[in-house]
Chains A and B, each alone.
Chain A
Amino acid sequence: MNIRRLSGNERYVDIFVYSVLIVWGAAILFPLLYVLMTSFATENEYLTRGFFVIPREWTWDAYLYLLANDGFSQSFLNAVIITVVGTAISISATTLMAYGLSKKWFKGRSAINFMVVFTMLFSGGMIPTYLVVNEFGLINTFWSLWLPGAIAPFYLIVMRSFFSSIPYELEESARVDGCGEWRMFFSIMLPLSKASIATFVLFYMVGYWNTYFSALIYLNDSDMWPLQVFLRQMLVLNLDMEQTASLFQQEIVYTPGAKMAAIVLSALPMMIIYPFLQKHFNKGFLLGSVKG
C-alpha cells in the first residue's frame, strides 16, 4: 500500500515538472517562431487577416525589401565588420594576457591582476570614458568600440585560471627542450585550450553583435551605425512616436513584415552558432570561476 501511494506521488511530480517546463519552453519559443513565420507573410495578409502564425502565402518580399534598403544593408555590413574584427582583437588580447598572467614567476603579476579586478568594482563612468575616447580621436570610428572593450575582465579571469590549471611540469619539460614562450603559447597552450577559447569567441561575438549603446554614443554618423542601432530606430522609436502623438515626423514607415524580417536577420546569426558550443558551457565552467 505504502509503495503504491509513493509511486502515485511520483507521478504527480512528473506531471507538474513536465507541464511547467513545456509551458516555459513554449513561452520562449512562441514569440520567436511568430516573428520568424510572419516575416514570410505578404503585406496584404497583415492587413486583411487578423491573428495568424502560419502565412497562407509565403514570400521573401520583406527580406528583399530590407536588402534593397541602404540603411539596413549598410548597418548589417557594419555589424559584421565590428563583430569580426572586434572578436579577433578581443580574443587575442584576452588569451595572451590571461596566459601571461598565469605565470606565477612573472613579477608584477599580482599588481596587474589587482588592476583587472578593480575595473570590475569601480569605473570612471560614462562621461570620463566618453571624453577619453574623444580625446584619442576615436569618435566616429569603429575603434571606439574595439579598443575600450578589448578586455572583458571576467573572461580574462576565467581564462587565466584555466591556464593556471595546466600542470607546470608540461611547461618545464617544454622549456628543457628549448621551447620559447611564444612557441609554448602557440603550439602547446592554444591547442589545449581550444574549447574554452571557442566559448569566449562566442561570448565576445555575441557582445559585439548585440552592442548598441556604445555605438549610439560614439558613432554619430548614421552610415557607421551597426544593425542594433538601426533596429532600435526601426522598432523601438516608433513606439515612442505612437505614445507621444508623433512629436516629430517619422521618415520611413516600415511594414510589419519588414520589421519581422529585420528582427530575424539580427537574431538568427548568434542563435545558429550557439547550439554548437552549448556543450562547453554546460560543463559548468562558470561555477569554479564565480570566485575571481
Chain B
Amino acid sequence: MRLSGDSRASMARMHYMKRAFPIFLMILPGLLSIILFKYLPMFGVLISFQNFSPFRGVFDSEWVGLDHFIRLFTERQFLTLLKNTLVLNLIDICFFFPAPIVFSLILNEVRLRWFKTTLQTVVYLPHFVSMIVVVGVTVVLFSGEFGGFNQFLESVGLPRYRGLGDPDHFRWIWLLQNIWKEVGWSAIIYLAALASIDTTLYEAAGIDGANRWRKIWHITLPSLVPVILILFILRLGNFIDVGFEHVFLLQNPLNLAVSDVFDTYIYRVGVQQGEFSYTTAVGLFKSVIGLVLVLSANAIAKRSGKEGVY
C-alpha cells in the first residue's frame, strides 16, 4: 500500500504522540508544581508595582509605579540590611569557604582507612540535624544558670560566657555554628576530587625525593584548584543571600542592628505586618541582584576558560 506524504507525516505524528504521551504524564506532576508554585509567584511580583489589596486581587489593585522601590532605597533600614548582608557574606567567604578545603587536605593525609571513614561519618553528622537543634544545643550549653558549658567554665574557676544574645558576638556565633554544622559536608566535593587523583603521580614524586609537604603543594592542591574556582564563583553568585533560617533563629530585638537581613526584614514587615506590596518589592530587588550576580559569575567562569556552571 502506498501512502501519500501527508498521511505518512500524520502517521509519524500519531506514532510520536503515542510514545510521548506516557512521558508527558510522567513529567506533568512535577511540572505543575513548578508552574503553580514557582512561576505563578514570579508573575506575582507585579504587586510590587501596586498597592495590592487581597480583596481586590492583582487585576483591580491600584498601580503605583516605582513607589515601593523608592521607599526601599530611601528607608533608613536599607543601608543596615545591605551592610549586614555584605558583612555576613564576607565573614563567610573569608573563614567558612576555605575550611572544607583545609579539612579535606588534612583528611587526605590519613592512611588508616577505618579512621578516615569513621571520621567522615562523624563530621557529616551535623549536616543532618536541623538548624534549630544547632541553635538549641548552643543555648543549652551556654545560656543561663544551667548552661552546661558555663557550669564547666565555673567549675574550673573561669567566668561564665554571657555573650549569646550580645550583638557584638552574633556574627561569630553565626559563623561558628555554620562551621560546626557544614564544614564536613561541604568537604565531600573536595574529597571526591582528591579521590580521582592519579596515584602514580605520588609514586613518581616519591621516587624523585619529594616529601609529603611537597606532594601536597605540587600535586594535591593544584588538582583541587578547578573545583575551588567553580565553587568560589558559585559562592559569589549567592552574595545577596544569607542562610536566612539560621539568621532568623539567632535574631532577637537586641541584635537587630547586626542581624537584620533582607529576608528577615521581608518576613517581619510582610508576613507579620501585612505590607505585601512593599515587601514584594524588597524581595524582587533581592532576586534581581541575585540573578545578575549569578549570571556575571558564570560569565566570568566561562571567560576564564573554565566550563560555565549553567
Interface residues of A (CB under 8 A from B): 6, 9-10, 13-14, 17-18, 20-21, 24-25, 27-29, 31-32, 34-35, 38, 46, 50-51, 92-94, 96-97, 99-101, 103, 105-107, 112, 115-117, 119, 121-134, 136, 147-148, 150-151, 156, 180-182, 185, 206, 209-210, 212-213, 217, 228, 231-232, 234-236, 238-240, 242-244, 256, 259-260, 263, 266-267, 270-271, 274-275, 278, 281-284, 286-287, 290-292
Contact = CB atoms under 8 A, between A and B. Distances in A.
B245 interface: yes
Contacts of B22: 180-182
Contacts of B254: 243-244
B37 A132 contact: yes
B144 A242 contact: yes
A172 to B, nearest CB: 12
Interface stretch (B4-12, B74-82, B86-94, B120-128): B120-128
17 contacts: A25-B119, A29-B125, A51-B155, A106-B23, A116-B34, A122-B291, A124-B44, A125-B287, A127-B283, A128-B40, A128-B280, A133-B37, A228-B132, A232-B132, A259-B136, A263-B137, A284-B193
B47 interface: yes
Contact of B26 (A10, A96, A150, A282): A96
B24 interface: yes
A27 B188 CA distance: 19
Contacts of B212: 9-10, 13
Interface of B: 16, 19-20, 22-24, 26-27, 29-31, 33-45, 47, 54, 103, 106-107, 109-110, 115, 119-126, 128-133, 135-137, 139-141, 143-144, 146, 148, 151-152, 154-155, 164-165, 180, 184, 188-189, 191-193, 195-196, 211-213, 227, 230-231, 234, 244-245, 248-249, 252-254, 263, 266-267, 270-271, 276, 279-280, 283-284, 286-288, 290-291, 294-295, 307-310
A210 B130 contact: yes
B123 A124 contact: no
B189 A126 contact: no
A263 B106 contact: no
Contact of B135 (A35, A236, A271): A236
B291 A121 contact: yes
